[in-house]
Amino acid sequence: MKKIYFFNPIKKTFAVALLIMLCQYLTAQITIDWNNTTTESKTTPTLQVVVNPMLLRNSPIHEGSFNALKELGADYVRFVPWFPYPHMAVAELSPPTNKETYWNFSHIDPIVEDFMNATKGHSVVMNFSTIPVWMFKTEKPVNIPNDPNKVFWPYNEGRELRDSSLKELTDYYVRLMSWYTKGGFTDELGKFHQSGYNYKFQYWEVLNEPDLEHNISPEYYTKIYDAIVLALKEVSPETKFIGISLALEHDPHWFEYFLNPENHKPEVSLEGISYHFYGEPDNRSQSLNTYQYSFFNQANGFLDRVRYIENIRKRLSPHVFTTINEIGNILSRDGVNETIPNAYWNLSGSMYAYIFLELAKIGIDVAGESQLVGYPTQFPSVSMMNWENGKPNARFWVLKLLKDNFGKGDKLVSTHSNVPGVVAQGILTSNGRKILLINKEQKDTQFQLPSFTSNISISYVDTTTGENPPVKKHLTGNTIKLGGFSVAVVDFGN
């Protein structure tokens, strides 16, 4: 009798799956049609600088931080004197009396000077977002610490301004803007305060995260925005203004209301909007090797919301530009005694690179990484500098790699990748053909690039490059090995 053998169904399924995986591995490759442009990028990579004591001139990392900022040479650099340090963020900490005013820029000017020197020749986005707390209705006076370097989170109390006409608020901002752009101002008692500053501010952002910091409504924010913009346009007509600056982009009402010109005063012409994104672990017990799934899943959800917001913008105010000017990851606010693995900085950098690329496909104008300096008590996981030695970390070097290779006017071409975990994009730049590669996983991977001639190079940041600039190597074949959480640029040199 002839024997008939049957495969166990489970073993058969496993064998087929293994065969498919093996074939994918053997043929893992990237294909590019350089003649098929899919999108022309208008996206500029940049960063934000949030004011804190580690940026003071007596800080051990002051020189390294501002040297890095100058070396980067980015445009649209955002500058935010933030509320946890009131002395460095507010120029009038006490309300004026009939006999005296309390203007004091001594804790603000040095950082502004250093920032403007480091960004000389490049556009800046100024955001003096912190309104003096005495302008708000509060249950009791807010007493700030005398130590200007002491963090003070309660400073952002209050939801409604005490002056319903908003003149008190706008007068404050007119004097603040005049201090830095007109050489000084006249105070509430008629005394002139001379500064000697005549800076040019290309952009001014009105408040920061109003949905969180004072939990105000879109309607009230829009009223404040209009008042500030109309007042500051008198001081600096050439400055363009950016609105909303949301922490959370989940509520479409913010965009539907603010972007509708009918909700603004007739004299106000909308120019720009901004909002933010931070990826976080899904729970406190996660290990680094699972962060990648949380971060990139959250990033994809955010990008879906960006597309939805873009539809609102195009429908209501198509002329308005968009800057997503806080992109990063937060492990905790304070980070005291928090151990951050070295590979985390590469993972966070690769997530930023991925979001930058996707925003370029969507048509966003600015993608700003957050932030130059953080440290324990001040969101250490968003830092782009090592707060102990003053060296840029992998997050900074990823931004530098992107800024040096890509920008507005680049043409994204049809690109296909079957390499698991790797994002690839062929880009026609003013300096020739390049490929942006992003490894979203911690493990190394190997694959085939399109066939090419000689004189091809690759520059990359990965877990082996540490706090050093991107490594550049010449390629001798089209097989490439990409390290874990690597961001790489292949340059064809033509």
Mean pLDDT value across the chain: 93
Closest CA to 400 of 484, 345, 460: 460
- Residue 131 and residue 267 share a domain: yes
CATH of the domain at 124: 3.20.20.80
Residue 91 predicted with pLDDT over 90? yes
Number of domains comprising the chain: 2
- Residue 303 and residue 157 share a domain: yes
pLDDT at position 370 is 96
Q: Is 13 exposed, middle or buried (0-12, 13-18, 19+ CB in 10 A)?
A: exposed
Task: Please identify which residue in the block is written with the tokens 């968009």.
Answer: 322
Q: At which of 407, 440, 458 does a domain end? A: 407
CATH of the domain at 419: 2.60.40.1180
Question: What is the spatial distance between Cα 449 and Cα 183, in angstroms, rounded to a whole number?
Answer: 57
Question: Does residue 52 fall inside a structural domain?
Answer: yes
Residue 22 predicted with pLDDT over 90? no
Residue 211's pLDDT band, with cuts at 50, 70 and 90, is: very high
- Residue 427 and residue 397 share a domain: no
- Residue 253 and residue 111 share a domain: yes
- Residue 437 and residue 322 share a domain: no
Q: Which of 6-10, 195-199, 255-259, 469-473 has the lowest mean pLDDT?
A: 6-10
Residue 71 predicted with pLDDT over 70? yes
- Residue 237 and residue 152 share a domain: yes
Residue 292 predicted with pLDDT over 50? yes
Question: Does residue 9 fall inside a structural domain?
Answer: no
Question: What is the spatial distance between Cα 477 and Cα 454, in angstroms, rounded to a whole number?
Answer: 9
Please state the pTM of the whole predicted model. 0.93
- Residue 443 and residue 353 share a domain: no
Question: Does residue 119 fall inside a structural domain?
Answer: yes
What's the token pair of residue 209? 């995260």
Residue 333 predicted with pLDDT over 90? no
Average pLDDT over residues 214-226: 97
- Residue 214 and residue 119 share a domain: yes
Question: Does residue 16 fall inside a structural domain?
Answer: no
Terminal-residue alpha carbon distance, the chain: 70
Q: At which of 358, 391, 407 does a domain end? A: 407
pLDDT at position 14 is 54
Give one DSSP letter per residue of 79-91, joined into a string: EE--TTSHHHH-S
pLDDT tens, position by position, 116-142: 999 999 999 999 999 999 999 999 999
Question: What is the spatial distance between Cα 265 and Cα 267, in angstroms, rounded to a whole number?
Answer: 5
Question: Does residue 437 fall inside a structural domain?
Answer: yes
Residue 6 predicted with pLDDT over 50? no
pLDDT at position 7 is 42
| Residue-number span of the structural domain to which 471 is assigned | 32-39+412-491
- Residue 420 and residue 395 share a domain: no
Q: Which of 303-317, 371-385, 450-464 has the lowest mean pLDDT?
A: 450-464
Specify the higher pLDDT residue, 377 or 350.
350
Question: Does residue 20 fall inside a structural domain?
Answer: no
Closest CA to 482 of 430, 445, 437: 445
- Residue 340 and residue 457 share a domain: no
Closest CA to 30 of 414, 428, 433, 442: 414
Q: At which of 390, 407, 424 does a domain end? A: 407
Question: Does residue 313 fall inside a structural domain?
Answer: yes
- Residue 389 and residue 459 share a domain: no
pLDDT at position 3 is 40
- Residue 438 and residue 403 share a domain: no
Residue 455's pLDDT band, with cuts at 50, 70 and 90, is: confident
pLDDT above 90: percentage of residues in the chain: 87
pLDDT above 70: percentage of residues in the chain: 94
Average pLDDT over residues 392-404: 98
Question: What is the spatial distance between Cα 291 and Cα 282, in angstroms, rounded to a whole number?
Answer: 8
pLDDT at position 27 is 66
Phi then psi for 235, rounded to 5 degrees?
A: -85, -45
